[in-house]
Amino acid sequence: MNIRMISKLAAGAAVIALTAGAVQAQEEVEVLHWWTSGGEAAALNVLKENLQKEGVGWKDMPVAGGSGVQAMTALRARVTSGDPPTAVQMLGFDIKDWAEMGVVGNLDELATQQGWDKVIPAALQEFSKYDGHWIAAPVNVHSTNWLWLNKAALDKAGGKAPENIDELIALLDKFKEQGITPLAHGGQPWQDGTLWESVVLSTGGMDFYKKAVIELDPESLSGDTMRKVFDTMSKLRTYFDPNFSGRDWNLSTALVIEGKAGAQQMGDWSKGEWLRAEKKPGTDFVCIRFPGTQGSVLFNSDQFVMFDIGEEKRDAQLKMASAVEDPAFQIAFNTVKGSVPARTDVPDTEFDDCGKKGMKDLAEAASGGTLAGSLAHGHAQPGAVKEAVFDVVTQHLNGQLTTEQALQRLPEAVAAAQ
């Protein structure tokens, strides 16, 4: 779609917004997403309501699955049949993959008008743009290297949050003594990968994470540090409950909320479930960086990509992209979702202690060179490499591979996927 057309449509969008009270525009966006848990659905309602005020209806196309893999499968089916949705929630390299196919819309004019270049971090723009053009509107920044603790269980165990892996193991032992599940985990490949990448960062530090996960250095993928990573994963596996296999992430979060488990390693979307349960940080739960990863942030960013599906839908798409980048929406959405704003000019005043910590950590990591994309959530490697790592990590965690076999298989699988 050419820039002149975008400009005309943007102007038209402004006129319609001003006259929405007099004329009800029969506009609609069909949105494919995977925000299906309670906390996620509550956050999404903020966007739906904002668009309704602009005269834009919302047709929901939810596809359950915490990492978006199932959603991308559903999207391929829609595009193949010649009927793509209006807008799609996407992560990282998936955005680039679809952009390469030439099927996404151009948001340059809107981005220029609203100054997105100045307020959206460069690390996000790597995925929001393709060939120099804005193709996506980032909603938030999530980070994956968090540990969520039940406050009552932690207090009973002595009250000290763990600062390294050894202290984490000691705490998990104390949770075991309390008769609760020490570490709530859902046995799905993306959840296994989320835990693994935190252990990689904790064990080797950011330099090692970048070498192994970003650069895919074969020696780093098979050496002594990675051996320690896999051994730690085996140890953590002993603290799962017997019913962990296949469990959705939010059900594991519920175990910690209910005091049936002591801790969960999960991204900050987990906080949305705590808030929906009317729990408060510092009172009912404790949020800390995964032990040993303080000062570093592994991130992913939910973004909405607008598909190029004809001029009659462009006005609604522009309204949606504009609504996503509205600072007031960024606050309202992210305080419910658990993430932090994609815009750097949003104040932290309305965020709780975990949100304030997330925003502070992100700013410090971005300026200090310790911000890196999450592998498990599509911001470190393309999908083929990610899935290759998942296969090895999940097989090892489930006892199908020894550590020795995993160390041999991991670089081989990565090389084959490149």
Q: Average pLDDT per run of 10 along the chain, which is 418 residues long?
A: 45 43 66 91 91 94 87 94 94 94 95 96 94 96 97 98 98 98 97 98 98 98 98 98 97 98 97 95 98 97 94 93 95 93 95 96 92 96 96 98 98 98
What CA–CA distance (Å, rounded) separates 140 from 341? 5
Number of neighbours of residue 62 by Cβ within 10 angstroms: 17
Sign of CA dihedral 372, 377, 383, 388: positive
SS3 (DSSP) at 8: helix
Q: Is 158 exposed, middle or buried (0-12, 13-18, 19+ CB in 10 A)?
A: exposed
Domains, in order of start, for the chain:
3-142+301-351 (3.40.190.10), 143-298+355-417 (3.40.190.10)
What CA–CA distance (Å, rounded) separates 142 from 267? 7
Q: What is the pLDDT of residue 69?
A: 86
CB–CB of 393/213 below 8 Å?
no
Question: Nearest to residue 250, comparing CAs of 226, 232, 277, 287?
Answer: 277
Q: What is the DSSP string of 60-114?
A: EEE---TTSHHHHHHHHHHHHTT---SEEEEEHHHHHHHHHTT-B---HHHHHHH
DSSP code, position 204: H
What CA–CA distance (Å, rounded) separates 280 from 274? 7
Q: Residues near 328 by Cβ (< 8 Å), separated by ≥ 6?
A: none
Q: What is the pLDDT of residue 26?
A: 67
Torsion on CA atoms 11, 17, 22, 25, rounded to nearest 10: 90
CA angle 276, 277, 282 (to 5 degrees): 100
CB–CB of 353/62 below 8 Å?
no
Q: What is the pLDDT of residue 3?
A: 43
Tokens read off for 278: 């009317």
Q: Residues near 233 by Cβ (< 8 Å), separated by ≥ 6?
A: 195, 196, 199, 393, 396, 397
DSSP code, position 164: S
Amino acid letter at 417?
A: A
Amino acid letter at 174?
A: K
SS3 (DSSP) at 375: coil
DSSP code, position 24: -
Tokens read off for 266: 């999960």
Report strand pairing: 136-138 vs 371-373.
unpaired
- CA 95 from chain center: how many Å? 14
What CA–CA distance (Å, rounded) separates 108 from 27? 22
